Each structure stands twice: as structure tokens, then as C-alpha cells.
Amino acid sequence: MVLLNSLVFFSALAAVAFAVPAQEKRVHRQADLSDHTHDDAHNYQYDHEAFLGKEEAKTFDQLTPEESKDRLAKIVDRIDTDKDGYINHAELHYWIKHRQRRYIQDNVNKHWKDYDKNRDDKISWEEYKNTTYGYYLGEEFDDLEDKDTYKSMLIRDERRFKAADRDRDGIATREEFTAFLHPEEFDHMRDVVVQETMEDIDMDKDGKVNLDEYIGDMYTPEERENEPDWVQTEKKHFTEFRDINKDGFLDAAEVAQWVLPGEVDHADNEAKHLIHETDTDKDEKITKKEVLANWNMFVGSQATNYGEDLTKSHDEL
């Protein structure tokens, strides 16, 4: 499962002090629980990040097995909201959704202080533009080697900002700024998400996505590298599922169905998956004992670096 891809000009962003991270400038799939492949045959990193949240997972990656289990036991207590000693699907689903919301909230808070220069708890387009592009605006980006890329970034940012600015006053509230950073979370940003995806994948600019463009956005083979099995699977998905009208291309409507499948609830699917894999007595709910017995399922088989890494204590979630 390939999720949010970085822009090809990611390295150029370093020249702009406060630019929004590349993965937030283009949403290429529906926001997911993890950037890792959901492949339990090889590792549990997807489950790990889904359960803990991406930032929290970074802490667990440096814990010994004993520390991980102790921390995990405390998290289980928090998930068990009715304190009956069991985690059911509803509780686990709510927890995973909570981790998703928390990730977005923390991300917005992190950027907010950089852009709200006059501390009025709002961010104007001028504040964002000047903070992000500042010095280069007066020079028309002439000092930059790839000035066309920066010009296109500015155009894209302004278009996305205007779409997020629902009252069209040129000023983003916290909710509007959240829509700017995470457009995949808002229905009114759907057209922007689709447009940005088309612009980035449609390399020949014919207004549609062919199979080579679809695969090329996910996978570029290395010299003498065998094509991974998942590439063949994606080619099949393109032909059988993505290309709804079977004309060999994805138009904007088909891209919308692909990148923003509104009926898919990844948190719900992940909750079902974790319970299925952990529920040894098959009563459709899991105990702390069952969770800890399958702790790698939740914190990742590589999460502790084989027990060699240590980290300082971390505050409770």
C-alpha cells in the first residue's frame, strides 16, 4: 500500500525556511494510518504506527522489549474505556481514530506558531506567503536554480489556501489552516486534492493518467532489479478497478475514486485486523494478556531494534 509520496522537488524545499513539508503539499492517497506496507508476513510496522500514531511509534522504536510491554500495558488500560478488562472493536476503532486526529492536531500546532507572526490566532495568506517564500518573492526566484519549481509551488499554495479559506477573507482560522495542511480530511477540498494528484502524475499533460504514469509514480526500478510482486498487483488494480470505463486511462473522476475513496474506513479495517490476529480465544474482544502476548503485532517486530536501543522516559499519552 503506497501512501503519501514526497514531491520530486523535496530537496529544494530546504532553501525555504518554513515551507510546508512536501508530503503535506500533495496528498496522493487518502490519509492513512502508516506509510509502511500492510504486510504482516514480514513486519508489523503498519500495525505499530496505526495503533500508536506515527510520532509515538518513533519513541517505541527505541525501547527495550520490557519497556515496550510496560508502556503498551498502560495504553491498553486507556483504550479500555469501560474498564471491563476487554478491548472490543468499538473501543479499538475509537482509539485508532483518536491517534489519527491527534497526529493532525499536533502537526497543525507545530506549524501554526511559525506562520502566525502577529499572534492574532489567524494566519493570513500574506503571512504564509512571506514566511514561506519571503526573500525570493522580490527576486522572482531568480536566485534559485529551479525557479520554475518554486513559482509552481507558490501558485499551488495560493490555490490550496483559497480553497481552504471558506469565507474568502484571505485569512485562515485554525480549522481552515488544517484544511490547507490536510486537505484529504475535508470534503470541500476534494477538487484540490484531485487536481494536485493529476498535475503530479500526468507527466505528458494530456489530462489523464495512463498505466505507465500510474506505476511510475509509485515505483522506479533500479538497474537489474526484479520487479516486485506488488507492482503486478497494482497493474491489475489499475485495469480491473481504477479504470472504471475501461478506456486505458484514469480521468479526474476515476482519480477521485482512487485517492479519496470515501467509503473506506482504514481505522475500522485496522481495528478488525488487530482483533482478528490477537483474539486467541475468538470471543471478538481482546484482553491485556492477549495484547501483550502479541506485542510485536502492536509495536512492530523491529520496533525495539532487537532490544538494544534505549530511550529516556516519555510522558503518558
Quick: pLDDT tens for 164-187. Answer: 999 999 999 999 999 999 998 899
Band (106; pLDDT cuts 50, 70, 90) = confident
The answer to whether residue 317 sits within a structural domain is no
230 or 121, greater pLDDT:
121
Pick the range with the lowest mean pLDDT from 42-56, 83-97, 139-153, 199-213: 42-56
pLDDT at 32: 58
Q: How many domains does the chain have?
A: 1
| CA gap 160, 162 in Å, rounded | 5
pTM over the 0.85 mark: no
Pick the range with the lowest mean pLDDT from 36-45, 97-106, 280-289, 306-315: 306-315
| CA gap 24, 22 in Å, rounded | 5
List CB contacts of 89: < 8 A, sequence separation 6 or more: 271, 272, 275, 284, 285
CB-based burial label for 233 (10 Å; 0-12, 13-18, 19+): exposed
The answer to whether residue 200 sits within a structural domain is yes
The answer to whether residue 116 sits within a structural domain is yes
pLDDT tens per residue, range 42-93? 455 666 676 677 666 766 666 777 887 888 888 889 989 999 999 999 999 9
The answer to whether residue 29 sits within a structural domain is no
The answer to whether residue 110 sits within a structural domain is yes
What range defines the domain where residue 73 resides? 62-209+250-310
Cell 519549481 locates to 149
282 or 265, greater pLDDT:
282
The answer to whether residue 117 sits within a structural domain is yes
The answer to whether residue 288 sits within a structural domain is yes
The answer to whether residue 22 sits within a structural domain is no
